[in-house]
Amino acid sequence: MRYRTQRAGSGRRTGHSGCGCRTGHSEQSRAAQRNAARHRPRPRHRDLGGGSNEHSTVGLWAGGWLVDHATWRVVFLVDVPLIVAGLALLRRIPQPTDAPRPRSPDVLGALLAVLGLGALVYAFDAGPAQGWTRAPIMAGAFVGVVSLVALVLTERRLRAPMIRLSLFGSGQFDAINVTTFLFDGALAAASYLMILHCELRLGYTAAQAGAALILEGAMFLVVAPVSGRLAARVSARWLMVAGMMCVAGAFLWLSRTQPRDGYSDGMLPGVVLWGLGLGLAVTPLTAAVLAAVRDVDLGEASAINDAASRLGGVITIALVPVLIGAGHRRSLADALVHGFQPAMIAIGGLCVASALVTAVLISDTRTAGLRVAPHPRIQRGALPECPTVTIAQRREPLPAGARAARSG
């Protein structure tokens, strides 16, 4: 497959975009689609957008095919049967035997979170097109910041808050969420930017753009299980650092791609390195989230980390037009000519920043705490409370006191 030169304003329709963000969630895709629709030349490009999970080796191509032959709106309907299947599978998961903590709806916290994040994303999304000094943009940024500050103050006062701020008392947990925000944000922005580059500069259709990144997902599927086994034997932290630096190197390589390059010597090395880095980093990062808090807090900790991932993707995708220099007087296609390479390098810098945070602030130490008693059908007994141990130390024999507690 060869790149085909596509100049902005040539009058040829290049197709649509199949955005392959790591998280693959609609809020990121919708923000990206609004940016693309606002800046793309009309009527040469009908629909720029679409979304699929890059961890699927066929999702990117399938999403692009749907965009090519229908509209990007159809892509969101693919989620419906997946959600139904997930709900059906939930019925087979055994219920925990521990009595849950009392809960009450945190309506005020939810409203403040939605208002704060929504207003900030609006400001980031509309700022490049309308101008950062316009009153609606400045008002959106102000409302967003004030709402998020109010959210923190409100959550501190509530007895049963939506977000337990005590979880952020762990420096390890804070560092993991910062890493997730930076790394997942970089992945989302790079995926979106690569799709734009393939379609608006290289002349790919949406299906071809998705197919160009399939090897990334395939490489991830191959490497991730190996990375999970390695994390139990070596430092999970340095696996994450190595993976993030691989992804940064991949973005640096991909930033050099030009319409005259062939796929094998242009995109292919970067795509494979991207998948290798993802495979090395994602599994240890997930394990680090589980190791940063007590087992009784895993649900809330996982939800917070997931929100950090989504937020990073939404914000970085909304800032893509800023990175490439697009605005109300300059389309995405025109801006990509000179803005694609520095934007990809800047996104790679986010990966380097996440690697630095990981190397300096994240350790391989497991937070002490009681383990949740598993369902008897899964395991016969629960482990007792144990002191803080490292991953390597878990393979060592238990102390005499712990052995006595287990036998008792």
Distance in angstroms (rounded) separating the CA atoms of residues 358 and 407: 38
Percent of the chain clearing pLDDT 90 (strictly above): 28
Whether 206 contacts 17, CB under 8 Å? yes
For 166-215, how does the pLDDT look when each residue is reduced to its tens digit (9 = 90+)? 888 888 889 999 999 999 999 999 999 999 999 888 888 888 888 888 88
- Output 39 or 301, whichever has higher pLDDT: 301
Distance in angstroms (rounded) separating the CA atoms of residues 49 and 55: 18
Distance in angstroms (rounded) separating the CA atoms of residues 61 and 66: 9
- The domain that holds 190 is classified in CATH as 1.20.1250.20
**Is residue 8 in a domain?**
no
Residue 333 sits in which domain range? 17-88+111-361
Nearest to 395 by CA among 233, 283, 229, 227: 233
**Is residue 232 in a domain?**
yes
- C-alpha distances in angstroms, 235 versus 124, 223, 243, 322? 37, 16, 13, 37
Which position has the token pair 């705490």? 369
Is the previous residue joined to 41 through a cis bond, with omega within 30 degrees of 0?
Answer: no
For 235-269, how does the pLDDT look when each residue is reduced to its tens digit (9 = 90+)? 888 999 999 999 999 999 999 998 888 888 889 99
Assign 103 a pLDDT band (cuts: 50, 70, 90).
Answer: low
225: pLDDT strictly greater than 50: yes
For 58-96, how does the pLDDT look when each residue is reduced to its tens digit (9 = 90+)? 667 777 888 888 888 888 887 888 899 999 998 888 876
Task: Give the chain's radius of gyration (CA, Å).
Answer: 23
**Is residue 340 in a domain?**
yes
Q: How close are the terminal C-alpha atoms of the chain, in Å?
A: 66
Which position has the token pair 């993707």? 313
**Is residue 397 in a domain?**
no
- C-alpha distances in angstroms, 179 versus 20, 152, 221, 283, 376? 20, 21, 22, 14, 36
Distance, CA of 145 to chain centre: 22
Distance in angstroms (rounded) separating the CA atoms of residues 304 and 51: 23
Structure-token pair, residue 99? 């009595």
**Is residue 375 in a domain?**
no
Instruction: Please give the tally of structural domains in the chain.
Output: 1
Q: What is the pTM of this model?
A: 0.72
**Is residue 95 in a domain?**
no
**Is residue 32 in a domain?**
yes
